[in-house]
Structure 1
Amino acid sequence: MAEIVSLPDAVADLVHDGDVVALEGFTHLIPVAAGQEIIRQRRRDLTLVRMTPDIVYDQMIGAGCARKLIFSWGGNPGVGSLHRFRDAVQHAWPVPLELEEHSHAGMANRYVAGASGLPFAVLRGYRGTDLPAHTATIKPITCPFTGEQLVAVPALNPDVTIVHAQRADRAGNVQMWGITGVQKEAVLAARRSLVTVEEVVAELEPRPGAVVLPTWAVTRVAEVPRGAHPSYAQDYYERDNDYYQAWDPISRDRDAFTRWLDEHVFAGAASPQPAVSAGGGPGASTPTNAGSTS
C-alpha cells in the first residue's frame, strides 16, 4: 500500500547509492522535481534508465549521480544536445559514464517483460541496425515454431521507478492521463516506486482514457505541485519552452552549470526557487528547481 510522504523523505527512503533508477515520462509528466531531489541528496553510482533522457538526466549526470545510462535516445528536445551528457561520455567529467543503447521498442518491451515477470522480450525491431554489435544486451534468438531469426532483450526491473502524475487519492491510488508512455509498465516492473503528483484529492473522479496505478502497485506518493516543470502536465500547465532554450548555454559550460546547481538545486533544499524566473534574454527563463521540496 502506498504511503503519502514528502518528496525529500521519499527519495531518502527509496533511492540508494548504486541503485538502478528509472525516471519515466514521454515529453509529458517528466518527474523533474524528483530528479533534482536525487541531486540534492547527492546520490552516487546510479544506473539511470530512461527511454528518452533529456534535461533532467543531463542535470543528474552533470551532478555526478550516474555511472551508467540505459536509454534509447538522448537530447534537449527541440534545442540540441545534452552537453553534460556529452562531457561525461567524451571527457569523463565529472565521472565516466557507461552507455547501454537500445531502440524505443526495445526499451518499451524490456519494461513490459519486467512488469510481466518474464526474463526477456522478443522483437524484430533491431534487424538491419548495428546496435546488436555494440550492445551486449541484444541477442539473436530463433523462433522455435517458425525458425525466424529474432532478437531478445532482457527484462528491465529497476530498483526504483519514479514517475509524475496528475493526482492521487488519500489511499495512494494514482491517476494520470494524456501522453502516458511507459510509466505504468516501468512502475509495475520496479522493486520500489515513487509517484509525484500535482495534487492529492479526497477521491479520484472517473476520467475516460486515464491510467490508474492502484495503491498496492506504488510504494510512495509525494504531492509536488509543478513537479514535472519544465515539461507539462495536461490540464495543469503547459510546457515551458523557454526553459529548454535557456538550458543549452548553461549546460555547455562547466562553471555555469556548477553555479546553476548551487543556486537553483542545492539552495532549493532550504528555500525553493520560483518555477520560472527572468533569464538572460528577452522571453527567456532560467532553469530552476521545479515543484515543492516539502
Structure 2
Amino acid sequence: MIEPNEQATPSGRPGVDKTMTMADAVAHFVHDGDTVSLEGFTHLIPTAAGHEIIRQGRRGLTVVRMTADIVVDQLLAGGCVAKLVSSFVGNSSAGSLGELRRRVEHSVPDPLEFEEYSHYGLVCRYLAGAQRLPFYPLRSYAGSDLPTVNPELRKITSPYPGPGGRPEQVYVVPPVNPDVTIVHAQRADRYGNTQIWGLTGVQAEAVYAAGKAIVVVEEVVADEVVRSDPNRTVIPGHAVDAVVECPRGAHPSFVQGHYDRDNAFYRSWSSISKDPARLRDWLAQWVYGTRDHAEYVANLGADFWSELAVGEALSQPVDYGRRL
C-alpha cells in the first residue's frame, strides 16, 4: 500500500504530498468490479489513465463517461468493461467505435450492458452524487423516448404546487457515486489543488461524487504557482487522493495551452477498431507494448509532437491585491 508523504505547507500546517506514478495510482485505487468515472469534455480526456487500466488487466468495471469515445472503445477491447453509463457514444464526429458496436449490436465477443442518459441527465446524476442527494429533478425528458429504454428515468410528484396550483410531475435521475473518478488537467500542486482552463466539463462534480479521485496533470507545479491564481483552481486538494504527472496524457485529445487535437488519429480510429485483428495489434503495440505513457510518447517521436504544438494565447494578468 502506498502511503502519501506528509509535508509542511507554506502556511506551516502539515499537508500530504499526493504525487504518485500512474501505475501506483491505478494499482491502489482501481479494482476489479469498481465503478470508474473518466471525465473530460472535448479536451483533457484521461487517455493515459485508461491505457494503464488496460495494462493492469482490470475486469468487470462499470465505466461512467458522458462522451464515451476512443478511450472507452480501447477499454472495451482490453476486456476491462462490463457496463457503460453514458450520454453519447461515438468517435468525436470522425466515425464509429468498432468494439463498442460489436458488443452492443451483436454481443461479440461479449455483451455490454449500456445505460443511456442525455448529457444533462448525466450531469444531474453527478450533481446528485456530489451533493449526496437521493435524486435530481429535471424537465428535459418530457416528450423523449429515453424513459422507454432506461427504467432509471422516473417520474415523481412535486411536493410543491405547480402552475395553477396543481401538483406537477417531474422526471428524476438517481445519483452516481463512482468508486473512483479519474480526470485530466493542466496542472496541480503536490497536494492536489488542480487548475483547469478552457472547457471545464463536469470534472469537479465527478470528483466530488466519487469515493476516491485521481487527478492526472500535464505538470505538477510549485505551491506558489497555484496560490498566485486561486480562481483557476477547479478541484481543491481536499477532494483529491492522488496526483499523477503525465505530460501529453490526454492524446489524442488536446489540452488547452499545451498541445492540439490529433485529428489524424481520430480519423484513423474507425478503420482500426472496425477490424478486431487490427485493433488487437494496435493494443499490442501501443498499450501492452509500452511500459508507461512516457514510452508511448517517445515512440511517437519528436517530429510527431511538433505537429501538435500550439502557439501562445496569454490571458491578461489579474491583480488580486494584498494588505499593505
Task: Tell whether the structures are fold-level matches, with TM greater than 0.5.
Answer: yes
Tell whether 2:292 aligns with 1:272. no
Aligned to 1:156: 176
SS in structure 2 at match of 1:273: helix
SS in structure 1 at match of 2:268: helix
Tell whether 2:258 aligns with 1:236. yes
Aligned length: 280
Structure 2 stretches of 5 or more lacking a match? 1-15, 162-166, 302-306, 309-324
Q: Structure 2: which amino acid aligns with 1:169?
A: D
Q: Deviations over 1:51-78 (max 9, x none)?
A: 1101000110121111110111100012
Tell whether 2:210 aligns with 1:190. yes
Structure 1 stretches of 5 or more lacking a match? 279-283, 286-294
Does the 8 Å CA contact 2:17/2:190 hold for their aligned counterparts? no
Does the 8 Å CA contact 2:248/2:297 hold for their aligned counterparts? no
Compare relative contact order (CA 8 Å, sep 6+) and give the higher one, 1 or 2: 1
User: For residues 35-114 of structure 1, what are the structure 2 equivalents within 5 Å?
Assistant: 35-114=50-129
Q: Deviations over 1:7-46 (max 9, x none)?
A: 0000000100000001001101000000111011110100
Aligned to 1:8: 23
Call closer, same or farther: CA 1:149–1:2 in 2, change over 3 Å.
farther
Tell whether 2:142 aligns with 1:127. yes
Call closer, same or farther: CA 1:2–1:216 in 2, change over 3 Å.
farther
State the shift of 1:272 in Å.
1.6
Call closer, same or farther: CA 1:257–1:57 in 2, change over 3 Å.
same
Q: Structure 1: which amino acid aligns with 2:264?
A: D
State the shift of 1:277 in Å.
4.0
Larger CA deviation: 199-208 vs 241-250: 199-208
Tell whether 2:260 aligns with 1:225. no
Aligned to 2:196: 176
Aligned to 2:152: 137
Aligned to 2:322: none
2:186 corresponds to which of 166, 180, 200 = 166
SS in structure 2 at match of 1:16: coil
CA distance in 2, matches of 1:256, 1:272: 21
Does the 8 Å CA contact 1:71/1:107 hold for their aligned counterparts? yes
Q: Deviations over 1:166-192 (max 9, x none)?
A: 011122211111101000000000001
Does the 8 Å CA contact 1:264/1:273 hold for their aligned counterparts? yes
State the shift of 1:89 in Å.
1.1
Does the 8 Å CA contact 2:136/2:175 hold for their aligned counterparts? yes
SS in structure 1 at match of 2:143: coil
Does the 8 Å CA contact 1:2/1:217 hold for their aligned counterparts? no
Call closer, same or farther: CA 1:208–1:192 in 2, change over 3 Å.
closer
SS in structure 1 at match of 2:126: helix
SS in structure 1 at match of 2:136: strand
CA distance in 2, matches of 1:70, 1:268: 29
State the shift of 1:222 in Å.
0.4
Larger CA deviation: 168-177 vs 61-70: 168-177
Q: Structure 1: which amino acid aligns with 2:202?
A: V
State the shift of 1:133 in Å.
1.2
Does the 8 Å CA contact 2:57/2:80 hold for their aligned counterparts? yes
Does the 8 Å CA contact 1:3/1:172 hold for their aligned counterparts? yes
Call closer, same or farther: CA 1:2–1:178 in 2, change over 3 Å.
farther
Tell whether 2:274 aligns with 1:252. yes
State the shift of 1:80 in Å.
1.6
CA distance in 1, matches of 2:230, 2:191: 21
State the shift of 1:276 in Å.
7.4
